[in-house]
Amino acid sequence: MRRAKSEERSASLGPAQSTSVRARGSVQSPPCRFLRNWVLALAVACSLFPTSSLAKTDWPIVFPPFQNLRGEAEHDWLSTALPETARNKLHGTIYMRAFTFEEISHAVSQNPNLAGNIIEISKALRSDLLVMGSYRVDGDALELTANCVDPITGQALATYKSMGSSFDPGQALNDLLFQIAQALRIAIPPEQRASVERRSTEVIDAYREHGKGLLALNAEEGVKADVLETARTHFQEAIALDPNFAASHYRLGTLFQHTKDIAGAEKSYKAALRADIDHRDARYRLGLLLIDKGRQSEAMTELEQALKQAPEDPAMQMALSSIWFQQRQSNFKQMADALEQAIAASPDQIDLYVELGEAYEGQSRIGEAMDTYQRAISRNPKHPEASYKLGMLNRNQGKAPEAAKLLKQAADNGTTEKRVHYYLGEMLTLMKDHKGAAAAFTQATRAEPNHTASYQALGNAYAILGQHQDALLAYNQYSQFNKEDPKPLLSIGQQYQTMGLLKQAMSAYQKSVQIEPAFADGHIAIGRLYELDKLTLRAGKAFKEALRIQPNHPDAADLQELIRIYQPAPAGNKR
């Protein structure tokens, strides 16, 4: 969920250990149900929430290349090495993750207008935090600075600094990461903290070669063959200096994969994981590579482990779901083959046809599934599950009469599917048999007393039939089940208005916007009632609020005209 408007956010940070802070304002605590919308500003800005309240929050962060404040070319390699090291360190915790160089580049490739605008890139990536880093090398001393920025507003939130040795940049980076975590009210567990603190390499010359390789890749011509070869040479040199340098093994693997050397890429990714078991990017890339090689079982092992390290990373979720889908398809095919053989041996076992139809559905072989269910019905016209399954497929294809006949048949014959009455009501409504629909929805509320959609649909059917008291009862039941939903109150108000009970209607409409202030239709209904009472100024105000909430409302053009007509006349003029 994205955060609230910029003017409603705080831009002040409470001091953290070893932190240089610029205070920029204050913020009030919002309602709990808007916590995720406000959580960035509040968590970074002040100590309103305990650590435990944010313990499971995933924080996607953008670390662009760091700025070399002294401008000495011999230290330029740190500009790319530091942000990648930050990401690799965050592999060790599930609470924070940094976007890769590839993800940032992909966002720009999708929209070239983003090039050079890191704030807009961060928005496109739906980042929660942008960290603009810089560094200054003075002899053996290294000073790091992290300017935290709200990527939605571009507003500076805080500045953190740390000091360390130019021979061990990772140590100074650790301090920055922990300061940011503290500001976000994230208590990194000891075992994850140890993983974050672990050095990527003990050999500074290897780290320098790795940084130079990244610098080559980060150049504008980074996809050219000679540049890729330069980067490869640096990564290979880094590995020669430190064979256990996971980051260089990983980067070398990406270059192998780019040049279609799949065997070399697999070898490099596995070497990266031997050097650093927490290297999530290597595990993710290895998983994708194994999928392409048709080694689904091995790929699933790697991707499931990667997902444990980043439970909310959409790329990890998507990669794993693709394997689950393929395996599911394979399982359904095996099932279908076995059921076809079983039916050949026992053609009178009707349940086998239903199971075979389900297996066909699992493979999206809908036509064959429908034929199989029909075969079951032909052998036993009163088989409830076959009728229900075939009825639902007809429903999904928009064949209301056929679906209604089959679903009624399933209900009459005692199907175990409780929602059959609701779906039957849907089809009867499409057929404009509102009396039959009301009867079906009544059955639906009895079969599933907590299914709120049945009460809404029942109320709608009664309203069309002109049975307003019955409609009110159904809408009220819906409202009782879901007291935070404004829609049933709108329906209640509409029924009162139809019955001429305008005071009761206004009360219902006002309750709807009290429950959900951003319910545009509630404001419009209030405005319509004000129109009836000739209270045009109030009507215009209600319509204006509705369009502020939902500018693209279907009635926007008409409402804009009414707002224009109902606005107060200039002083001295008469309407």
- Is the residue at 462 inside a domain? no
Whether the pLDDT of residue 439 is over 50: the answer is yes
pLDDT tens figures, 294-350: 887 788 888 888 777 766 666 666 666 666 666 666 678 888 888 899 999 888 899
> Is residue 550 in a domain?
no
Q: Is residue 552 part of a domain?
A: no
Task: Provide the pLDDT confidence category of residue 223 given band limits of 50, 70 and 90.
Answer: low
Q: What is the pLDDT of residue 112?
A: 86
Q: What is the pLDDT of residue 544?
A: 93
222 and 280 inside one domain:
yes
222, pLDDT greater than 60: no
- In this structure, the answer to whether residues 27 and 127 fall within a common structural domain is yes
The helices-and-strands tally (H runs, E runs) of the chain is 26, 6
Q: Does residue 79 sit in the same domain as residue 215?
A: no
- Which string of DSSP letters, residue by residue, matches 338-387? HHHHHHHH-TT-HHHHHHHHHHHHHTT-HHHHHHHHHHHHHH-TT-HHHH
Residues 154 and 217 in one domain: no
Instruction: Indicate if 138 and 267 belong to the same structural domain.
Output: no
213 and 174 housed in the same domain: no
> Can you spell out the DSSP letters for 438-464?
HHHHHHHHHH-TT-HHHHHHHHHHHHH
Query: Are 182 and 268 members of one domain?
Result: no
- Nearest-CA neighbor of 402 among 411, 390, 413, 410? 390
515 within some domain: no
Q: Please tell me the distance from the alpha carbon of residue 108 to that of residue 102, in angstroms, as a whole number.
A: 10
> pLDDT by residue (tens digit) across 340-380?
999 998 888 999 999 999 989 888 899 999 999 999 999 99
The last residue of one of the domains, among 166, 199, 232, is 199
Give the pLDDT score at 221. Answer: 55
- Establish if 530 belongs to a structural domain: no
- Would strands 59-62 and 96-98 be described as parallel, antiparallel, or unpaired? parallel
Helix (H) or strand (E) holding 138: strand 129-138
Question: Which of 71-80, 149-158, 286-295, 313-322 is the least confident region?
Answer: 313-322
State mean pLDDT over 466-494.
91
Same domain, 311 and 172: no
Give, in order, the Cα–Cα distances in Å from 301 to each of 329, 378, 466. Answer: 19, 45, 60
pLDDT-derived band at 543 (thresholds 50, 70, 90) equals: very high
Give me the residue label for tokens 């360190």.
89
Work out the average pLDDT over 406-414.
Answer: 95
pLDDT value at 180 more than 50: yes
> Using CA atoms, how far apart are residues 426 and 424, in angstroms rounded to an integer?
5
**Whole-number average pLDDT of the chain:** 83
Q: Does 467 reside within a domain?
A: no
pLDDT, residue 323, reads: 61
Q: Say how many domains are in the chain.
A: 2
Please tell me whether residues 229 and 160 are part of one structural domain: no
Q: Which two tokens stand for residue 55?
A: 């313990």
CA distance 404 to 390: 11
State the pLDDT confidence band at 500, using cuts at 50, 70 and 90: very high
Helices (H), 149-261: 169-183, 190-197, 204-218, 225-241, 246-258
The type of residue at 121 is I
193 three-class SS: helix
The pLDDT, as a whole number, for residue 50 is 34
How large is the average pLDDT for residues 443-460? 93
Rounded CA-CA distance 438/456 in Å is 11
Helices 246-258 and 280-292, packing angle to 10 deg: 30
Cα 230 to Cα 235: distance, rounded to the nearest angstrom = 9
Name the more confident of 57 and 92.
92
* 558 within a domain of the structure (yes/no): no
Range of the domain at 53: 6-199
pLDDT digits (tens, 9 = 90+) for 196-214: 888 889 999 999 999 999 9
**In a domain? residue 484:** no
β 156-165/141-149 pair status:
antiparallel
pTM value is 0.52
DSSP 8-state class, residue 26: -
The domain boundary residue, chosen from 316, 347, 376: 316
- H or E element: which one contains 277? none
CATH of the domain at 155: 3.40.50.10070
Residue scoring higher pLDDT (119 or 309)? 119
Phi, psi torsion values for 164, nearest 5 degrees: -165, -165
**Residue 36: what pLDDT?**
34
pLDDT tens-digit series, residues 521-534: 999 999 999 999 99
Four-residue CA torsion sign, 538, 543, 544, 546: positive
- Closest by Cα among 254, 288, 293 to 271: 254
The Cα-based distances of 553 to 486, 539, 549, 557, 559 in angstroms read: 17, 17, 9, 9, 9
Residue 1 confidence class, pLDDT cut points 50, 70, 90: very low
Q: Is 71 left (phi over 0), alpha (psi -120 to 50) or beta?
A: left
Instruction: Judge if 131 and 214 occupy the same domain.
Output: no
CB-CB neighbours of 154 under 10 Å: 15
Residue 309 sits in a domain of what CATH number?
1.25.40.10
How far apart, in Å, are the Cα atoms of 503 and each of 232, 321, 445?
77, 53, 30
**Facing residues of 156 across strands?**
149
Residues 272-278: what's their mean pLDDT?
A: 90
Question: 27-52 pLDDT, tens per residue?
Answer: 333 333 333 333 343 334 333 233 33
What is the rounded distance in angstroms from the CA atom of residue 502 to the CA atom of residue 509? 10
Residue 570's pLDDT band, with cuts at 50, 70 and 90, is low
Q: How many percent of the chain have pLDDT more than 90?
A: 53
Residue 493 has what pLDDT?
Answer: 94
Last residue of a domain, one of 288, 316, 344: 316
Place of tokens 């990017």: 281
The whole-number average pLDDT for the span 216-238 is: 83
Residue 316 has a pLDDT of: 61
Give the mean model confidence (pLDDT) for residues 392-417.
95
The strand pair at 156-165 and 129-138 is best described as unpaired
